Each structure stands twice: as C-alpha cells, then as structure tokens.
Structure 1
Amino acid sequence: MADIQAPPLPPQAQPLSITLPHKPTASLSCAFVKGTTPTLIVHLNGLGLPQSHWWPSVTNYLTTFPSSHPSFLTYDRYGQGTTTSPDPQDESDQNKHLPPGHRHDITSVVSDLHALIQHVALNYHQYELSKTVIVLVANSIGCAVARYYAQQYPRTVSGLILLDSYMSDTTFIDIYPDPDGPSFNESELPEGVTVEDIRAAREGMGKLFHPTVVNKEGFWRGSVTDVLPHSYEPKLLAPGEGDERPYVTVVGHDWDIFAEESLRMKGMTRLVAMNYTNVAWGKYNEGLLKITSEERAKGVVIAKGAGHFVQQYRPDLVAEEVGRVVKLLEVS
C-alpha cells in the first residue's frame, strides 16, 4: 500500500537517518522521540504500511502524557518507504539460496533490528541496552519479527503489543478446504458458501498472500513458518531471573470491517471471509496469548472499527494499550 497521505510527524519527533555498523553503505529512515524514562517503545511495520502510520498513536500518547513518557522509535526496514535504502546484503552470496525476487529473510531483519536498538539506545535514548526497558509494538508480519526478536534475544523484551499478527502457521491457501482433497465434503460447507467460492478464495488468497509471493521489500516469508511454526509457542522470557514473562497484548481486527476489506480481493465473498479467514485469524490470536504467563496476557482485544492495519484505524487504542503496559512496567 502506497503512503499517499502520510500522517504528520509528532512535533516532538526527530527524523533520523541511521547507518548500522554492519551495513555501512545504507541508511534506515527513522523517527525518534526522546523520553524521560528508561523505556523505549519500538514500532515494527508490516509489509503494507510504512513507519509514518505509527505517528498518530505516538502523537496521541504524547498529548495524553506530555510531561513524563518513554522514548519512541519508528523506522522503515531496508527497502521500505521512500527514504530507506535497499538492503546492501540483498545481492550478496549469502542470499543466493532464496527464490528469485526474495532478498532477505526474518533472521536478517531481526539482526538489523537488534543493531538498530543498540545504536538508538546508546546514541539517542542514552541508556545502556541492559538498562533499557524495551516494548515492541507491531502489526502484521512485524508481529512475527517481534516474537522472533524476543526469542533470539531472550530477557531483553519486557512487553509486546501484537496488532493483527501475520499468521505464521499457514500458507494462506490452507485456511480454506481443498475441493480436490480426499476428505472434502461439499455438504459440510457453511450455508451460502459454494465450491466455486472456495476455489476462488484459495486462488485469490494464494496470488496475494502465499509466502512465495514477492513483495517490494524483498522480505522472504518462506522461513517464517520454520522459526515460528505455531502461534502458542515458544514461551518468551522477560528481563530478570527465573521464568518471568513479558507483558503481551494481542489485538485482532474487527471481523465485519475485515470482511468488507476482503471483498477487494477477486473472488472473495463476505461469507467465506467470516466463516474461514476470520475464524482462522481468531484461533491464531488466541494461541498468541500462550507465549507469556496467563497473568501477563491481555486479549484477544477486538479493535472495533479496524481492519488489518489497526494502527491506521485505531491509533487511540494503540496509544491506550502502550500506556497501560508502560504503567505496569513502572510498578513491577
């Protein structure tokens, strides 16, 4: 989705162009708000919207808490937005194993994120990484990035706010039954759903969302399922000792709004979206609550009036949930 009308930058935000030590020939477009506490809120984009669509929720938060607030970081990954550089490692030999059009994977994205957080913590947030309280706020595939980051760098993330997460356990075709499969029974289809509807949904979803579909960013999604095969595991560890878990909030889209959005896809019907796509997404979101302890999980919160891009539709809800998690971390 093109960033045709970018929301305004929060007045307190400093636009930055950051070069990471391991990729010195490229820069990341970022925006940073310096806070008054050790907490750093890091926003992780999906594939569809650039960093600017986090700015309304940041502005909302700063308007509500003008005197004491955490630091905020937004950024466009390599190949995203209009001012971030392509990934300089995209053409390197280490990526030759990827299918044509796919230039880097989730491991590379998470490595870049870690380097970025280290750089920002030291140079702008001005707290050592070990003393920085990290909260990841993510949408879509950014949620997979957030989970894998917390998994690869255990005891570094204190909170995750997951907005309509990318479903890592599906090809997006297998959400729907296979009319040509041996176990398919047409009589089991929901009322009003035809075999032709199912075929059209499988074809349309496959052309748009199958992991092999090339995206502008060059983000290979084929390995996401390998590292995150289930929504409900692995459990994550928060800073501290023992089995302390991070705060996790899971937010899902409004089923009615999403069903309407789905009609833009050729062949999709409202009944198919409601009976299959929404049901699969709801089940996945429920599983995400299990990556932390029960007392530190919240959700599934349904973002009323919001489609897939929750931060675009409901910046007020995002700001409210960030504020709740920040307050919990201050007293814990």
Structure 2
Amino acid sequence: MVQYELVQYEGRFQLTNHRHFNLRSQYRSREYQCHIESAKSSSAVKSYIEKGGEYEDWGEFQIDGRSARGSQTSAADVYVEALNADKIFQVPIPPYVSPYSPESFNQVPEQMLDWARNNIMNDAARPDRPISIIIEGPSRIGKTKWARSLDPHNYLSGHLDLNSKVYSNDAYYNVIDDIAPHYLFLKHWKHFIGAQRDWQTNCKYGKPIQIKGGIPTIVLCNPDVQSSFSVYLNKDENNGLKIWTSLNSIFMVLDEKPLYTQAQEPTVTETATQSVQNQEVEITLVKTQRFPQVVVEPDL
C-alpha cells in the first residue's frame, strides 16, 4: 500500500539526518524509508492526495504562489511589478517644441528644402522607403536648429540611446547629431539611413527593443577627420558602403554661411508651451542666437 504525505514549513527547512522521515512499524522493529521530493506546487500535491477520498488534514494549509486554486502576492512580486511598470504603462515622450519656425531659415539650399517636402510627413503620406540626408558643415551655422524645427522627431546626439524614454516610434524623422561615422557603422547605419522597418536594437541593460522604423534620418556632422562622413565614405575599404549610402541618401556640404540672412536672424523671444505628463509647462527663452555662415557641394 502506497501512502502520500505533504509536509509544509513556514520557511526553508534544512535537514542533515537522512532518517528523519523514516517510518517505524508498530508490530516489528523495522523502519521504512520514505521517498522524499520537493513539491513544485503544494496545491497540486494536495489535490492528488485528496483524490482518493481517504485523507487527514492537520494544521492550516498554505496556498503556494504557483497554485491555480489560489494566489498570494509576495513583496518580491510587488517589487518586480513596480520596476517594470514604466515598460507596461509607458508615459508618452513629451514633444520637443522648437523655438524657431522653419520659415526663419531663409537661406537653406533648395535641395534641402525639396528633400524635407518629399520625405518628412506622417505615416499616411510618407513614401514607403524615404530618402535620408547627410549634412556636413562647420559649427554654428544653424544645421541643428533647422533640422529640429521641421516636425516631431527623435534627436540622437553623442551616442545611440533607443530606449522608450527618449525614442518614439511615432516620430516623423530622426536627427543624428555629432555621432562618429565609425560608431554609427558599428550600430545601425543601414537601419537609420536606409529607413528600414521593423528592426531590433540591443540595450545595454534590458531586452532588445523593436523599432518601427520606416522614417528618414537627418545626419549632421562637421568636416573634421574624425566626424566627417565624406572622409569616412571616401576611404577605399568603405567603397561598397559609399555606393549603398548614395542610393539611400543625398549628401550636402555647407560652407560657413548661416542658413538665414543677418536681417532674418532667428531670435528666441517667444514662449513655447509643451505638455509634460499631462501638466502644462511654460518655457520662456530670451537668449538671442547668433550663428556664423551655404554653399552646396553635393558630391562626396
């Protein structure tokens, strides 16, 4: 005859005597050694024992966390859920409100304006594979200000951080600013410049993130050797990448002339209002921005 017994403890039970659970016969001096296993689900074992109809209960049964017949939430469960709350209930990224209007940049080359008109738009109107643009020029001529004034976008500067707190799949385009070309090549050169769809990126801490993609990218860089995309692409070993990039983007080389006339210099004096987590926050900017100086050399 086989008998089953379920023993529960309040905490972890450590045993060194392997004969602790042996059963001694009432009629002879003989011990019976039990087969002991750790129960993965106390509730499942209890149900199996009760199935025969002949059983005895002693003490109060503790419903375990894996039970399908009941549940209990531990402090650890609550802590884990709290840590993941921002992933489950993501707060929308507050939109960037440019203090400049695109019209204030009245010296932008026509090729750049045509590119913006044909590629920066919402999902419904956007081309299936939009073309990106690489703009190379000296500092302080208004490249970043113009790029960020067009429409809702993702701004990535210094390094590529694509977590949901800073990167939105609802943006119209990406702006990649001051990111070394060799770093972008190691990461997501073709994903960004090629406006590829439905790709993944690995975060340093956490699971891979799915990127919706399908939006164009404005790449901004300076003409120095370490930053220049033209210098990088003109290397012999990058000839294949140069051909691919020329098919998926246009290249603009600007001189020191600003993207506006001196008389139309953008002045930040208005009040920009943006919604941050359902609260209206007023940002008043009173600093006048002066940029030094745009001759186009489209060839790499």
Normalised TM-score (structure 2): 0.25
Normalised TM-score (structure 1): 0.24
